[in-house]
Structure formats: structure tokens, C-alpha cells
């Protein structure tokens, strides 16, 4: 049995987007629907701030004084004084869609993906974007950046990750119950040759956030089942971890040795009876990974 610890007891509606900043030894994570960002230390000390609207992720940047936010409509920079700066807002005129997850590739490029609020039963209208921003474009006079569509359409875009050598990119469309893998060009940030890495049976849960460890194995949070699974590079189940909350959402490697996994969770639409049996739903959990994985790469405009 793997020992599960509670890093931060919380009642997040939709806890998501864990990203470990190795410089400050801090875990960034969000409650999407509450529009709240949290930064939690290994001692369980949390600092928080809120934004106006939904917040899908908070990512470290090369400037420790700034964070990259994935808000409802797109990418913004936040300075430590709370000042927000628009970068690219591809959903500004699409109120029925929101950003849902994001990650930075090993070279410092930011990616973010989207979903329809009413994704079940409708046409797939989500997408996976790459944020393109040259450093000299991010000036006070010209703060804008652009996005490139990497994958579209999707139903419920979710977890993103890269193999240790950066030559493979993984991306989950939860609405299709599928995690895909692409050949990835680290020099250009482009993908090709999409194929199915893993199809998850519905009874096993919804494939949600993911992380890739230093051995090239893919860890996936299976939302609805309360389990984290580690899959070998050829998609065989290698390990299953039970979490005391059914709505696990995402995970990342944390700690000074990067050998611990942190798991976010949600309590969205859980009935009172279900909450009674899982009072820790919405909290952040940790367990010993018995392997190592990468910290979050800081976003670096390029």
C-alpha cells in the first residue's frame, strides 16, 4: 500500500493545474471555478490570490516576479503587485469556452488547451494552443502575443507532457477518453504524426491531467475513479495509486529530489452523501513516486 499524505487540506471546487517551481520550492495550483490561485510549500504554508473570472493554471516564468496565468479567455502575465497584462486572448469573444489546462515545454514554450462549458453531447470546439511571444514584443507599448493552434477540434482538452528527451509530446482529450502522443520538434515547438497512446475504458474513469517521469512513463489522473495510474512507454499499466477523493484532476513531481507526486482534486457536483464519505475531496495529496520527474520549466518568451 502506498502511503497518501495531505499536503493542503482544501475544499476546491475544481482543484487543478499543479506546477512545481523548483527555485522557490513552491507548488502552484488553482481552483478553476473559484478563480483562485494557491502557492503551497512542502510545509503546507499557502499563499493565495484571486482573479476576476475562471483560472485554469498558474505557471512560473523566467522572471521570478511574474507568473503566467491561463484565465478563462487566454494568457495573461501577473506581476507580484497584482498587475495583469494581456498577452493573447483567443477566447475573448467565445464566452461558452474556457481554458482548462496548461504546461511549458522543455524549451520554455507555453501551451494551453480549452473546452466548452457544455462539452458533453455538443460538437467538439476545444483546441490546444501554443503561445508565441518574442521578448521584444512584450513591452509596455506592445504587450500582445499570438497563439498557434496545435490541435483542433477537441472535446475536453486536458493533460500535456513531454518525454525526457523532448522528442514526444502527450496530450489528452478527456472527452474522447484518449491520450495521444506526437513526434515533437524541440527546435520549433511543432508536432506531427499523432497516434493513440492510450484509450481509457469509461468504467476506469476520465483521463485527466498527466505527468511524464524521468523513465519515460506516463502518470495519468483518472477522474471519477480516485486513481492515479503509471503507464509504461508502450502503454502498459505499471502501477495504480488510490487517492481518497474520486475526482482526481492532475499531478506533478515536487520536492527537493523531485521524487514525490502531488495530486489535485475536486468536489464539483459531488452530492452530500459522497462528500460524507470523502471529506478530503478538493484537497492536494502527495505520495512517494519511487522515481523522479521534472519540475515545471519556467516560461521564457521566444
Point out the residues that are catalytic: 208
Residue pointed to by grid coordinates 484532476: 249
CB 275 within 8 A of CB 291: no
User: Which residues have a Cβ under 8 Å from the Cβ of 118 and sit 6 or more positions away?
Assistant: 96
> Between the CA of residue 109 and those of 13, 102, 176, 212, 300, what are the distances in Å?
29, 11, 26, 17, 7
Neighbours of 21 (CB within 10 A): 20
48-65 b/e with 16+ CB inside 10 Å = b?
A: eeebeebbbbbbbbeeee
Beta-strand pair 237-242/227-231 = antiparallel
**Contact by Cβ (8 Å): 90, 44:** no
Amino acid at each position: 500500500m502506498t502511503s497518501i499524505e495531505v499536503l493542503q487540506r482544501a475544499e476546491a471546487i475544481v482543484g487543478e493545474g499543479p506546477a512545481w517551481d523548483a527555485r522557490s520550492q513552491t507548488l502552484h495550483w488553482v481552483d478553476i471555478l473559484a478563480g483562485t490561485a494557491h502557492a503551497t510549500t512542502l510545509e503546507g504554508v499557502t499563499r493565495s490570490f484571486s482573479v476576476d473570472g475562471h483560472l485554469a493554471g498558474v505557471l512560473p516564468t523566467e522572471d521570478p516576479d511574474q507568473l503566467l496565468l491561463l484565465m478563462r479567455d487566454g494568457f495573461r502575465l501577473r506581476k507580484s503587485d497584482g498587475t495583469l497584462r494581456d498577452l493573447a486572448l483567443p477566447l475573448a469573444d467565445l464566452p461558452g469556452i474556457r481554458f482548462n489546462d496548461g504546461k511549458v515545454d522543455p524549451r520554455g514554450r507555453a501551451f494551453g488547451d480549452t473546452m466548452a462549458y457544455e462539452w458533453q453531447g455538443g460538437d467538439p470546439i476545444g483546441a490546444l494552443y501554443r503561445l508565441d511571444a518574442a521578448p521584444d514584443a512584450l513591452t509596455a507599448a506592445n504587450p500582445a502575443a499570438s497563439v498557434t493552434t496545435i490541435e483542433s477540434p477537441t472535446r475536453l482538452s486536458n493533460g500535456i507532457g513531454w518525454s525526457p528527451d523532448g522528442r514526444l509530446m502527450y496530450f489528452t482529450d478527456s472527452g474522447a477518453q484518449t491520450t495521444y502522443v506526437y513526434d515533437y520538434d524541440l527546435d520549433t515547438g511543432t508536432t506531427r504524426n499523432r497516434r493513440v497512446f492510450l484509450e481509457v475504458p469509461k468504467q476506469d474513469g476520465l483521463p485527466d491531467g498527466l505527468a511524464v517521469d524521468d523513465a519515460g512513463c506516463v502518470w495519468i489522473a483518472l477522474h471519477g475513479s480516485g486513481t492515479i495510474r503509471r503507464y509504461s512507454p508502450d502503454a502498459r499499466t505499471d502501477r495504480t495509486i488510490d487517492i481518497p477523493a474520486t475526482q482526481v484532476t492532475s499531478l506533478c513531481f515536487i520536492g527537493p529530489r523531485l521524487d514525490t507526486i502531488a495530486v489535485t482534486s475536486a468536489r464539483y457536483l459531488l452530492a452530500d452523501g459522497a462528500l460524507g464519505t470523502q471529506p478530503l475531496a478538493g484537497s492536494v495529496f502527495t505520495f512517494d513516486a519511487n522515481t523522479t520527474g521534472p519540475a515545471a520549466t519556467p516560461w521564457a518568451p521566444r
